[in-house]
Structures are given as structure tokens and as C-alpha cells.
Amino acid sequence: MMDFVMALSPLVLILVGIVVLKKPAMKVAPVGLVYIIILAFTYFSPADAVFKDTVTMVDGLLWKGIKEGTKIVMLVFSSFLLLNLMQRSGAMKQVQNTLAGVTDDRRAQLIIVGLMVPIFLEGAAGAGSPAAIAAPFLVGLGFDPIVAIVVALLGDATPCSWGGAGLTTITGGSYLVEQGISTASLNSAMVGRIHMFGVFVIPFLIVMIAFGKKGFKGIIPYLLFAGISTGLIMFGLSNFIGPEITSLGTGLLSIVCSIIYLKLVKIKTPEEFRYKGENGFSGKENTELRRYSSFHALSPYLVLVVLLPVVRYTVPFSILTTFGYIVWVDVVVFLCACIGCVILGVSAEGFFDTMKQTIMRVVPVLVTMGSLLTVSYIMQNSQTGMIQLIASTIANTAGPLYPAAAVAIGSAGSFITGTGLGSNIMFAPMHLNAANMLGLNPITVFAGQNAGGSLGNLICPNNVVAACATVGVIGKEGEVLKRTMAAFAVILTIYMTLSMIYTHILFSGFGL
């Protein structure tokens, strides 16, 4: 038990510092890094470990953290740059008016942009792009930055189980496939049966987070439609088409269904939730003299929406991952920012001035990201064995509750690593062994892991810090985590319950 407590202690330290003490992640993360390095040299140093080997391990992971952190910061920079250019040019004002043409209900706008667009972006690219792009877009539409971050993260809580081109399920579940236990299609089908309930409740959680109980007035029929239609589409694609296009297709089709519904069915919108033409732009240039058509104003984001899936599905995967998966997303988003500058007629001086301001806002984030990533790498390292210790302790005490524990373990894995894929790869062998020992269906158990791995991204400090950086609210990570934790607890409870019911009752023989 003491080993388990000590393995958890770095995470507790970071969470207490950010959420309880309300300190900026930029100050807490380096402290957590120093603490875990001390643990690596003392408590979690194997008896036969050579001091030099530990130094080599920590040094290598520290540089890896800096390198990978830089890649994430580049995505933050590119997304923030695109938003700033949209605001500087005044195009964001027209985007607001265009969205109001679909519906003037701010709550419905939030569901479309905060839930359905992130699902599409996860399928198109993944790699943190949904929150990095959707959060600043929501801010540009006039939503509170904290609300924008929480909603964007919540919108990305389900599609991560498939990710770009189904990578998370296909690669993350490959161990079960190699052992002849399952197939990618079966893995996709079962996790889809869990997430369909997640996307049903998320619209209600979004409204509650953004507007409180009063926000439900007059919009419950639309929320039911959005939740049911998105859930059914996700179920259909994941069960009958395959993992490759589940996220992308769900996002795109759900947007289309919502637009049709909102055009045919009039929402009785209270005045306080009605779009009133907020002034959503800033900058030095005289935006009042600029006039854009809806297509012209939206074109930078339309280019992005087209270019991400085109690159992902046409360029060989081996090339995309040459410098790390996220790098190609960085390049595409930055390229779209440059194209957007030309399309919107922003001057060269305006572009470089905006880029300079953006760089100054995001560079300090590298300290936080590098520290947090290094903490996660040290916890994952076989020499310390911290993450395996946490997972195995939970597994050994679970017994017949193991299907529910698998969801929690999956969430813990992505909470630490920042990726559902990493969580799946790390724990799939353990879940298969546990399922065999307990006489449980390994396919449904892994589905719980896969769903939990996707959900864990909602509360991962790495993701929260990156999202805060994209909208310029660095230091507010604690406030964001408080709100995401509440939503996380609700969905986690649903997923743990479903995993138990599916494994022990409904689908005990699924795929066997």
C-alpha cells in the first residue's frame, strides 16, 4: 500500500497545487518534476540500479519531455495565431453572424462548435487538435474562455477512442488481435456501445457547465435530439463501418443533422441566451472598414477542415510520423494560418505583429509542458514502474468489479500520458491476463479500458495547460480542472456501470 501511495504522490502533488492551492501550473509542474526525480533516485530506484544508469534515464526523459513539449506548444501557437488573425481582420465577427444564421440560440451554437466540431477534428487529425482549435474558436464567438476550454475538452472526451483514422482502437487494441482474441472491428463495436451513452449526456453537461440549470429552458428537445442522433451515428459507424472513420463521420454527420433540425424546428430561446451580435474581434487594424461574405470569413477554417483529413488520409502514415505524429498537425494548422492571412487580406506587418504577440503568449508554456511530460515519462518508465504499480494494485483488489476498474485504469493511463493510445498500449496485456484469470470477456474489458482512456483526456493536466494557452488564460488551470473533474465523474460513473453490465450480463459472450 505504501508503494501505491508513493506512486500516486506526484499526481496528488500536482493536483493539489493546481486545484486546491490554486497555483498556476507553470509553478506547480517544475516542483512536481523535481519531486519525481528525487523519487526516481530514492524510493523507486531498484536495489541493483547503478547511479549512472538512473542519471542517464532521467536525463534522456528530461530532453524527451522538452522535445515533445515543444511539439505541443507549436500546435498551441498555430491555433492561437489563426484565432488572432481572424479577430484582427474582423472576420470572426462575420463568423458569429453566419453561425447566428443557423441558430441565434447560444446554447445550440455551443453544442455544434463545442461537441460536434471536436469529434470531427479528432477523426481528421487527433493529436490534441480538437481542443486547440475549438477552444479559441469558441472564444472568438464570444464565449467565456474558461467555458470554451471545458466544453472543447468535453467534446473530445469520446472520439479519442478512435482518434485519427481509428489509430487508437486499431493500434491500441492490436495486442488482443495478435493473440487471436479479437479484431479491430470487434474492439471498435464494443467501445462504440459505451461511448454512445457518453455523447448522449454530454450536451446536457455542456449546457449545465456554461449556463447552469436555467440554461435548459426551452432547449431540452434539441439536446435530446443532439444526444440521440450523435449517439446513434457513433454506434452505427463504429459497429457497421469500422474504426477508421467513426470519429470523423460522427462529427460531420451530427453537424448536418443539427443544422437540419435547427432549420426545421424553432427553439424558443429566452432573450438572455440569444445571440446579440457580440463584438468578437480585436486588433490594431480598422476592422470596421472590412466586409466579408460568410464564405470568405469562414474560409481559413474551411481550408483547415478540408486539409486535415486530406493530408491524414492521403500521405503515407510512415511519413506523417517521421518527426512524431503531432508535427504534421502543427505544420497544417500553421499553413492554414498563413493561408488565412492572405485570404483575409491581413498585411504582412499585421501578420508578423500578430505572430510576435502570439509567440510571447505561448513560449512560457514550454516550461509547464516539458515538466509535466517528463513527470509522465518517468512514471511510465520500467525502471520506476510507477504507472504499472498503480494499475496492478487497482486490478488486484477489484475481483469481479474488474470491468469497472478497467475504465478507471484506462482513465488513469491517459491522465498521466495525455493519450488514449498510450494508455491502451500500456495496459491491454494486463487486462487480457486479468480477464482470463477471472473468466471475463476480454473484449468488453478492453472496451472499458478504451473508453476510459478516451475520457481521461478530459482531466489530463497536459491537455488542460495546452488548452489554457490557446486562449490566453495561463494560470487558470485549477478553475478548468474543477469543472472538468465534475463532468468526468459523471461520465466515468456511467462508463463503469456500463462496463459491468456489458461484461457480466449483456455481452458476456460477445466475439467469443
pLDDT, tens digit, 9 for 90 and up, residues 89-123: 888 888 877 887 889 899 999 999 999 999 998 98
pLDDT of residue 283: 39
Q: Could you tell me the CA-to-CA distances from 28 to 32, 145, 207, 389, 465 in Å, in that order?
A: 6, 22, 31, 24, 12
The pLDDT of residue 286 is: 40
pLDDT at 214: 95
Q: Which amino acid is at 117?
A: V
What backbone phi and psi angles, to 5 degrees, belong to 274?
Answer: -90, 140
SS3 502: helix
pLDDT of residue 367: 87
Q: Where are the domains of the chain?
A: 105-273+385-505
User: Which tops the pLDDT comparison, 470 or 417?
Assistant: 470
Cα–Cα distances in angstroms (integers) from residue 505 to residues 278, 337, 497, in the given order: 52, 51, 12
Is 383 a residue whose pLDDT tops 70? yes
Of the candidate ranges 99-103, 248-252, 440-444, the one whose mean pLDDT is the lowest = 99-103
* Model pLDDT, residue 277: 62
Between 387 and 485, where is the model more confident?
Answer: 485
Residue 175 banded pLDDT, cuts 50, 70, 90: confident
Question: How many residues appear in the chain?
Answer: 512
6, 54, 58, 280 from 47: Cα distances, Å = 17, 12, 17, 60
Per-residue confidence (pLDDT) for residue 474, from 0 to 100:
84
Sign of CA dihedral 127, 71, 73, 383: positive
pLDDT of residue 110: 95
Mean per-residue pLDDT, 74-84: 86
Ramachandran region of residue 285, left (φ > 0), alpha (ψ -120 to 50) or beta?
beta
Spatial distance between the Cα atoms of 130 and 457, rounded to a whole number of angstroms? 11
**Reported confidence tier of residue 279, pLDDT bands at 50, 70, 90:** very low
pTM for the full predicted model: 0.84
Predicted confidence at residue 290, as pLDDT, reads 55
| pLDDT given for residue 455 in this prediction | 96
* Strand boundaries in 192-264, DSSP class E: none
Residue 105 DSSP label: B
Grid cell locating 452? 476510459
Residue 97 is predicted with a pLDDT of 79
What percentage of the chain exceeds 90 in pLDDT?
A: 49
Q: Which residues contact 473 (CB under 8 A, 6 or more apart)?
A: 145, 146, 149
